[in-house]
Every structure is written in C-alpha cells, then in structure tokens.
Structure 1
Amino acid sequence: MTNVTRLHHALPLSPAINLAITELDSAIAKAVDAAKADGLPQGLVVSLLHGHAQMQTTIMVTA
C-alpha cells in the first residue's frame, strides 16, 4: 500500500496508537490479499469492507 497518503491528527498520536493503526492496516491488507488469492470477487471484498465501515460510522454517530 505504498500509494496511500497518511492523514495526521491535529495532535500528535501516541506510539501505542500509531502501532495499533499500523497493525490494523497490515491485517486488513493481508486479509484482502488472501481473499483475492482465494478467488473471492473483488466486488464482494469491497462490499464487505464498505458494510463494516458503514456500521462503524453508524455506531459513532449514534453514540
């Protein structure tokens, strides 16, 4: 994922948060690569990721 621009928070993030973000990003990238290697249609991968993003957005907005 070398073509991804990293956004920075207005305040510096702690090393623990930066590590968690890096690990999450890596895990998602590995899972997507594995799904594609197993022949899962790309549209299904995108729709699953979008569904999870939508649910998390709903949780943030209604909390």
Structure 2
Amino acid sequence: MGDVTRLRHALPLSQDSNKALTELDSAIAKAIDVAKAAGLPQGLVVAELHGHAHAQTHNMVKA
C-alpha cells in the first residue's frame, strides 16, 4: 500500500490533480444523470458506484 497518498499530506493539490478531480467528478455526475434519464433504478446506480469503489479499494490494498 506504499503507493497510496493520503490527501491531507498532499494538500494543497496541484493544478493538474485538481483539474483531474474536477473532471472526474463532472464525468461521474453526467453519467449518473444519463443513467437516471434512461430509467435505471437509483439503487442500481448506487450499487454500480459502490462496486467500482470496492474494486479500486481492493486494488490499492493489494498493491
């Protein structure tokens, strides 16, 4: 887990990191809006996001 950076130690974020975070947040919000407009149940959207968060956490822990 040596490659994991704790944000409180990395603050303030660089402009590149801040831009990437803003773009990630925007892309997620847009994807959620598209899924809702397509009629996906909110629980399924949440489950999908939770699954990706779990997978990313697993990848960080095993590294």
For the superposition of Structure 1 and Structure 2, which TM-score range results when normalised by the shorter chain?
Answer: 0.7 to 0.9
Please identify which structure carries the higher helix content.
Answer: 2
TM-score normalised by structure 2 residue count: 0.83
Per-residue deviation, residues 8-35 of structure 1 (Å, max 9, x unmatched): 6343111000000000000000000110
Unaligned runs of 5+ in 1: 1-7
TM-score normalised by structure 1 residue count: 0.83
Q: CA RMSD in A?
A: 1.2
> How many pairs were matched up?
56
* Residue equivalent to 1:4: none
Per-residue deviation, residues 15-60 of structure 1 (Å, max 9, x unmatched): 0000000000000000001100110010000000000000000000
Higher relative contact order (CA 8 A, sep 6+): 2
Unaligned runs of 5+ in 2: 1-6
Does 2:62 align with 1:62?
Answer: yes
* Residue equivalent to 2:30: 30
* Residue equivalent to 1:41: 41
